[in-house]
Amino acid sequence: MTNVLEPITTLKGIGKETAEHLSEMGIYTIQDLIWTFPYRHEDSRLKDLAETPHNEKVTIEARVESVPSVLYLGKNKSRIQVTVLAGRHLVKVVFFNQNYLRTKLVPGQVVTVSGKWDRGRQVINGTSIKFGPKTDNADFEPVYSLKSSIHQNKFRKYMRQALDLLEGEMDETLPGRLIEQYQLPSLLEALEGVHFPKDADHAKQARRRFVYEELLQFQLRIQSLRKIRKENEQGLAIHYDVNKVREFIRQISFELTNAQKRVVNEISKDLKEPHRMNRLLQGDVGSGKTIVAAIGLYSAVTAGFQGALMAPTEILAEQHAESLKGWFDPIGVKVAILSGSTKTKERRLILEQLRDGEIDILIGTHALIQPDVLFNNLGFVITDEQHRFGVEQRRVLRDKGVNPDVLFMTATPIPRTLAITAFGEMDVSIIDELPAGRKQIETHWLKKDQLNSGLTKMESELRNGRQAYVICPLIEESDKLDVQNAVEVYEQLSTIFNGRYKIGLMHGRLHPDEKDSVMREFSEGEVDVLVSTTVVEVGVNVPNATFMMIYDADRFGLAQLHQLRGRVGRGEHQSYCVLLADPKSEEGKERMMSMTQTNDGFKLAEKDLELRGPGDFFGKKQSGLPEFKMADLVHDYRTLEVARQDAAKLIYDDQFWQSDEYRYLRKMLEESGALNGERMD
Ligand code: ADP
Ligand code: MG
């Protein structure tokens, strides 16, 4: 009986020296060997030359038709040529420096030749030759990533030997139930298919199995961490008044979109249950997250709890307060706002009413997490644009209640695959639908020397009483980066518009008071054009602004461009976005094209993921994404979804914890530390 844990030297032909070379690749045991997957396969299927394109690799079976002719090209160099008949094609085969073929190639003999097909000259530039017809039925030969000291052919032989030894002796690692349900190949069949596939389908099925198995294991770890969290963290069961909540929803001036309804249900369910809510709500700009937040907060209020909503800037907090007061004042729910600029006397009053429980909902900036802000009975906390707050700030706010439920909202669409991978321990809700009747923002990509045409469009909007944003990447001239500087653009535009329109300047170096005052002037319509760095990115709502021009747009990622663009198109008027860019790379061009083609943040996020890959999507190094052997988060998202659902069910299934067929998955879970609540990184 061969054990997979036996040392690699158990295999014939592997001595001390080879074992040493293999150990450099991390291969010590038979198990290590068989889990070293090839990175590609060489296609060695027989091809019909008539259908083979120029310069493609081919393998043919042919009969030698001539005596080989040899040309000597100097020391140890030679070129041998022979005419062969492959099917109905009479072609030449050429080999370099394979002098020995001279005596081996005899007319009438059948050979199998691989090489590159020169269609024009009807010549195969041979790379390998076997004498006799193609005997083995290997259509694909594995190519491994090897240290130069080991040859592919040798390595293939070790692999073949290892797999043959293990035949019939390897335990299946997936339960029969799942194998059957998804029609997956058995472990051995899949290993065979990964290394030595019989055909393309064999390879595909093998890959399918390992992708699923890998993602299932991954999701089992995440789901068990989640389960442990839910079991250990006592939360509030918020028994809201269903009828009151229904009535509240009914009297809103619009009908919720289906996506909003779904998310409201997800949140309600979390509120009711006694575990602590830990949910991420994603919704594109304008998808209507605020009303969803309001319904959640109101639910908590009907159960006698207080709610809090924390926004990253004063302007955003004020906007939220305005919306919420519009809904809550008429029904007697008391909303207050607390920010850095709240007057001392007013602040004292608010704090008092908060402690007494007179205030139902408190909205604010991080002024909410000052030590003297004490709630009477905080049950539900929402933080908007969660990435703007540090983990610590969020924790402090949460700790102001007794395990209140927590909802994080973000307008940054993250592809679902990444969301459930990187935020796997959180529940994720997505509003993936905009309210009906929204106008698409018309987006144009202009070269920098077409600036004037952009300015003409801008002026025509201004003439109609609309307002405009002009976005510049950096605030100061930098020698290294050839980017527009906001101050320069501001001065340029001031000259161009020459007093006809009022221009405002906004950048990160301004004092917070100055920022607020510029923003206020813009939102009140006193400033017509706001020249700004990316600080306007999040949340600002000025419905009269219908035009945005972005300088050096190719310097931004798709997600950020989309966020910026979301500042326009918020009112009844048609809006426009002009991207000024001369991208040098194909990828940059593709980003610009994508922006002109769609307004859908999730589509753009998927595109961004495709262009930049999962690692770069979140920015370097802190992606929190695991590395997979086979699975690819971009292409295998459906499998990830399936694996996630299966894992979530299994974790609560007694069978999983008891039945013998799950023992490998259980063992993997134990070894990962997930059962002790340890994270994996
Ligand atoms: P965001 O998700 O960007 O925070 P908001 O909550 O600010 O979006 O909503 C944008 C606008 O759409 C608001 O004026 C809001 O009242 C409105 N809105 C939200 N949901 C709907 C809906 N289902 N139908 C029509 N308008 C809606
Ligand atoms: Mg919002």
- Give the pLDDT score at 361: 97
Q: How far is the CA of 151 from the centre of ligand 1 (A)?
A: 62
- Phi/psi class of residue 411: alpha, beta or left (left: φ > 0; alpha: ψ in -120 to 50)? alpha
162 pLDDT above the threshold of 80: yes
- Indicate which atom in ligand 1 lies nearest the CA of residue 287: 2
Does ligand 1 come within 6 angstroms of the Cβ of 319?
no
Q: How far apart are CA 469 and CA 569, in angstroms?
A: 12
Helix (H) / strand (E) element for 490: namely: helix 486-497
pLDDT (0 to 100) of residue 680: 44
Give me the pLDDT at residue 530, please: 94
Measure 466 CA to ligand 2 centroid, in angstroms: 22
31: closest CA among 207, 187, 238, 184?
187
* Residue 282, strand partner residues: 410, 430
DSSP-assigned beta bridge partners for residue 64: 84
- Asked if residue 86 lies in contact with residue 99, where contact means CB atoms within 8 angstroms, the answer is no
Quick check: CB of 290 below 6 Å from ligand 1?
yes
How far away, in angstroms, is 648 Cα from ligand 1 center? 32
Amino acid at 513: D
- Among 255, 291, 315, 441, the mutation site with the greatest number of ligand 1 atoms within 8 A of its Cβ is 291
Distances (CA, A) of 50 to 53, 87, 139, 299, 399: 8, 10, 19, 72, 74
Q: Which of 249, 254, 315 to mutate to test the pocket of ligand 1 (most atoms within 8 A of CB)?
A: 254
Report the C-alpha gap between 487 and 126 in whole angstroms.
64
Model confidence over 521-557: pLDDT tens digits? 998 999 999 998 876 655 567 889 999 999 999 988 8
pLDDT confidence bin for 235, thresholds 50/70/90: confident
Which of 186-190, 431-435, 453-457 has the weakest average pLDDT?
Answer: 431-435
Q: From the CA of 147, how far away is ligand 1's center (Å)?
A: 58
Q: Are 443 and 576 in contact (CB under 8 A)?
A: yes
Q: Is 288 in the pocket of ligand 1 (CB under 6 A)?
A: yes
**299 within ligand 1 shell (Cβ under 6 A):** no
- CA 320 to ligand 2 centroid distance, Å: 8
| Two tokens, residue 641 | 């979804």
**Protein residue closest via CA to atom 20 of ligand 1:** 288
What's the 18 CA to ligand 1 centre distance in angstroms? 66
Taking only the tens place, the pLDDT of each residue in 632-652 is 876 787 898 899 899 999 999
Domain with CATH 2.40.50.140 in the chain: 45-131
Q: How far is the CA of 539 from the centre of ligand 2 (A)?
A: 6
Q: Which atom of ligand 1 is nearest to the CA of 437?
A: 25
Reduced to 3 states (helix: H, G, I; strand: E, B; else coil), residue 408 is: strand
| Tens digits of residue pLDDT in 268-306 | 999 998 888 888 898 887 889 999 999 999 999 999 999
How confident is the model over 197-219, as a mean pLDDT? 93
Residues of the chain with CATH 3.40.50.300: 442-598
Asked if residue 309 has its Cβ within 6 Å of ligand 1, the reply is no
As a whole-number percent, the residues of the chain with pLDDT over 90 amount to 48
Q: What is the pLDDT of residues 41-86, one digit of tens each?
A: 877 777 788 888 898 888 888 999 999 999 888 887 889 999 999 8
The residue nearest atom 4 of ligand 1, judged by CA position, is: 289
* Confidence (pLDDT) at 622: 39
652 CB within 6 A, ligand 1:
no
pLDDT at 479 over 50: no
Tell me how far the alpha carbon of residue 323 lies from the centroid of ligand 1, in angstroms. Answer: 10
257 C-alpha vs ligand 1 centroid, how far in Å? 10
CATH superfamily of 45-131: Nucleic acid-binding proteins (2.40.50.140)
Q: What is the CA radius of gyration of the chain?
A: 33
Q: Which of 18-22, 35-39, 234-238, 498-502 comes out lowest in average pLDDT? A: 234-238
Q: Residue 483: what pLDDT? A: 47
Q: How far apart are CA 33 and CA 73, in angstroms?
A: 42
- Contact 401 CB / ligand 1 (< 6 Å): no
Which is nearest to 383 in space by CA: 303, 297, 304, 322?
297
User: Rounded to the nearest whole angstrom, what is the distance from the C-alpha of residue 566 to the centroid of ligand 2?
Assistant: 11
378 closest CA partner among 278, 303, 275: 303
Give residue 456's Cα distance to chain centre. 38
Kindly report whether the global pTM for this prediction surpasses the value 0.75: no
According to CATH, the topology of domain 442-598 is Rossmann fold (3.40.50)
Q: What is the mean pLDDT of the chain?
A: 86
What confidence score (pLDDT) does residue 401 get?
66
Angle between helices 187-195 and 152-166 (to 10 degrees): 170
pLDDT per residue as tens digits for the range 107-147: 999 998 988 999 989 999 988 888 887 766 667 888 898 87
Residue 402 has pLDDT above 80, yes or no: no
| Residue whose CB lies within 8 A of the most ligand 1 atoms, among 257, 289, 290, 297, for a mutation test | 290
Check pocket membership of 283 for ligand 1, CB cut-off 6 A: yes
For residue 285, how far is its CA from the centre of ligand 2 (angstroms)? 7
Q: Distance between CA atoms of 588 and 216, rounded to whole angstroms?
A: 36
Which H or E run includes 350? helix 344-356
Instruction: Tell me which ligand sits closest to the C-alpha of residue 291.
Output: 1
For the CA of 292, the closest atom of ligand 1 is 6
Ligand nearest to the CA of 290: 1
599 in ligand 1 pocket by Cβ < 6 Å?
Answer: no
Tell me how far apart the alpha carbons of residues 636 and 207 are, in angstroms, rounded to a whole number.
Answer: 11
- Of 287, 363, 429, 434, which is best to mutate to test ligand 1, by the most ligand atoms within 8 angstroms of its C-beta? 287
The arithmetic mean of pLDDT across residues 384-405, rounded, is 65
3-state secondary structure 69-132: EEEECCCCCEEEEEEEEECCEEEEEEEECCCCHHHHCCCCCEEEEEEEEECCCCEEEEEEEEEC
For residue 260, give the ligand 1 atom closest to its CA. 23
